[in-house]
Amino acid sequence: MFKTIKRIINWCGEFKGKLYIGFVFSFFSTWFAALPIMVAAYTVGMLIEEARGGAAFDRKWIGYSFVSIVVLVFLRFLFDYMRAKYQETISYELVTRDRLAIGEALKRVSLGYFGQVNTGNILNSITTGLHTLENMGMRMIDTFIGGYLNFLVIFLCLLYISPKASLIAVAGAGISFLFLLLVSKHSISYAPVASKAGRDLTAATLEYARGLPVVKSFGQGGASMAAMSGACRDSRDICLKIEWGYTPANCMHLLALKAASIALAGCACYLGLAGELSLPMMLMFAFFSFGIFAGLEPISDSAHVLGVMDQLEALKASNYIDQEGRDIPLKRYDIRFSHVDFGYDERTVLKDVSFHIQEKTSTAIVGPSGSGKTTICSLIARFYDVNRGEIRIGGHDLREFTCDSLLKNISMVFQNVYLFHDTVRNNICFGRPDATEADMIEAAKKACCHEFIMALPEGYDTVIGEGGSSLSGGEKQRISIARAILKDAPIVILDEATASIDPENEHLIQNAISSLTRGKTIITIAHRIATIENADQILVVDEGRIVQKGTHQELIKEEGRYRRFVETRERAEGWKIAGR
Ligand code: ADP
Ligand code: MG
């Protein structure tokens, strides 16, 4: 219990000061909520006293008490407002801080991380998880700290008025606290399960939504629903289990408080009848006894909050790939692989790969599918770290760079283009957000996409569907080339950038690419002979090894993979031409 509270307070970090000020306001707000009732009860008591012929009553008192009640109510809301202003804003600030921190952290982990941590996990932490904290975290510590602080003051007052009554109050609060500990124990034991169920649900939903096109085209709605409905049911079962698990203890906690309230009211009556308390005091005391524990009642489930905290800590503890990186300005842009071994998991994908790419030359990588071509490109951009050997750009080992400072030098165009759910403009300017309108349009023209963009309903301000779904493959490809042209990085990596493009688009994209690559260090993965044969160097990859290296002229003379590859390609391209 205390640990949970401590964790939430620590989570507040730089906002702790605001949090504490919030507690003070919260404290006053609770008191000012109770005071009007006490004033009213006291006044009524005095009226009754007068009616019974007891003490004389000054009529002006009614006016005074009315005014003071109004003032007290007003102050109560003022304090409540101030509390909300201090405490509730913190949770929004904190949650934003954490969301950005996670975003930043994800940019800097190895892509291998996403193989181990499901995307659903991350999504769940950033959205639902942090939302839970936003809603429940602050309220939890406010009720806990504020609640017990109030109780302490009330206890001291009671001790002054009647030590017996204070004993009742302590007993009530003590018993309720024991049950709270039980609730908390239950919550802690269920926290990991609860957060796992939440993550699984997000992951299943995400997977379901992603797979919908395939599901529809194969008419397999039932099978794909199964995973999602399973996750929904699990989440429901676990939430119910948590809820049912802590309900008895929670009821006992509330019962202890209510019983103490009744006992206190009884005690007030007893003291009044015994003549130890005046009638107004007795009435005030009796009314008050029902409100005194109000601050302690809402403390209940913390399982979800704890689960989220665990999740967040795990995410923040992710290893940054560039922890020791520096910002290195490069003077030359040659790339050297020396004896590189690499595997995504236990299986080695690249074996003893060594080559050198001179700056401002073009290199084509060819080889069968699955031989490791894309992997080589991913290593250049340091999406992953090598297992053995080293990769140097401009003489610097990649591990010396921060991710940002390395990627500044590299533009990549992939076969599977990902466009953000944003305007065309922002998608093109992604690599260079400060680009002028003229620069952007020039890049779009070079990438042969200006015309079709202008034909879109809102031109450059048209919002592209998620993943680029509202554009054709060729159009998406050309936008991604415009993005790369605008970024104007000295190293350009083209991974099958034209492989899935229809012949009408192909020459447009070829033009776009030649305008992108002028004067740059280029690495191309392609199948077209025309693209490959002009390269300054060709690397032939097979099963993760470089099996041949040279120019087209050199390699074509050798008996080997390359010549077989060219023969097959020529036949395929010949067929294509003959078939037209
Ligand atoms: P290519 O681009 O030449 O077709 P890749 O470099 O994509 O080949 O893949 C090389 C090998 O690495 C393949 O056997 C593939 O299954 C494996 N591989 C590729 N990406 C991953 C990944 N993210 N996780 C695990 N294995 C991968
Ligand atoms: Mg590939």
448-473 pLDDT, tens per residue? 889 989 998 888 998 887 656 578 88
pLDDT band at 144 (very low <50, low <70, confident <90, very high): confident
Where do the DSSP E strands lie in 263-349?
A: 335-342
Say how many CA atoms lie within 13 Å of 52 toward its Cβ: 11
Return the minimum-mean-pLDDT range out of 79-83, 156-160, 339-343: 156-160
> Is 356 in a helix, a strand, or coil?
strand
Range scoring the smallest mean pLDDT among 383-397, 499-513, 519-533:
499-513
pLDDT at position 202 over 50:
yes
Q: Is the CB of 344 under 6 A from ligand 1?
A: yes
For ligand 1, atom 27, name the residue with the nearest CA: 344
Q: What is the mean pLDDT of residues 139-162?
A: 80
Q: Which atom of ligand 1 is closest in space to residue 495's alpha carbon?
A: 2
CB-ligand 1 contact for 382 (6 Å cutoff): no
Least confident of 79-88, 320-329, 515-524: 320-329
pLDDT at 319: 67
DSSP letter for each residue of 12-67: TGGGHHHHHHHHHHHHHHHHHHHHHHHHHHHHHHHHHHHHTT-S---THHHHHHHH
Which of 74-83, 116-125, 298-307 is least confident? 298-307
Beta-strand runs (E) in 134-185? none
Distance 365 CA to ligand 1 centre (A): 15
CA–CA dist 424, 450 (Å, integer): 11
State if pTM tops 0.75.
no
Band of residue 580 on the pLDDT scale cut at 50, 70, 90: very low
| Cα gap 47→65, rounded to integer Å | 12
Q: Which residue has a Cα nearest atom 22 of ligand 1?
A: 344
- For residue 350 the two structure tokens come to 């690249």
Q: Report the atom number in ligand 1 closest to the C-alpha of 376.
A: 6
Distance CA 476, CA 482 (A): 10
Which of the listed ranges 93-107, 508-522, 551-565 does the model predict with the highest average pLDDT?
551-565
> Three-state SS for 300?
coil
Mean pLDDT of 271-290: 82
Instruction: Label each residue of 81-97 as H, E or C.
Output: HHHHHHHHHHHHHHHHH
Q: Is the CB of 349 under 6 A from ligand 1?
A: yes
Q: Is the CB–ligand 1 distance for residue 77 below 6 Å?
A: no
* Band of pLDDT at residue 220, cut at 50, 70 and 90: low
Average pLDDT for residues 206-218, to the nearest whole number?
80
Q: Is the pLDDT of residue 576 over 70?
A: no
Protein residue with least CA distance to atom 16, ligand 1: 370
Mean pLDDT of the chain: 84
- Residue with CA at minimum distance from ligand 1 atom 10: 372
Q: Whose CA is nearest to atom 19 of ligand 1?
A: 375
Question: Cα separation of 379 and 391, whole Å?
Answer: 8
Query: Which residue lies with its CA nearest to atom 14 of ligand 1?
Result: 370
Q: What angle (nearest 5°) sits at the alpha carbon of residue 75, between those of residues 74 and 77?
A: 70
Q: How far, CA to CA in Å, does 93 sit from each of 15, 48, 136, 160, 306?
A: 9, 52, 14, 42, 19
Say how far apart CA 6 and CA 1 lie, in whole Å: 9
Residue 55 has pLDDT above 80, yes or no: no
Q: How confident is the model at residue 299 (pLDDT cuts 50, 70, 90)?
A: low
Q: How far is the CA of 426 from the centre of ligand 1 (A)?
A: 31
DSSP 361: -
Q: In whole angstroms, what is the distance from residue 573 CA to residue 474 CA?
A: 20
326 C-alpha to center of ligand 1: Å? 29
Q: What is the spatial distance between Cα 552 and Cα 554, in angstroms, rounded to a whole number?
A: 5
190 CB burial (10 A radius; 0-12, 13-18, 19+): buried
Residue 371 CB less than 6 A away from ligand 1: yes
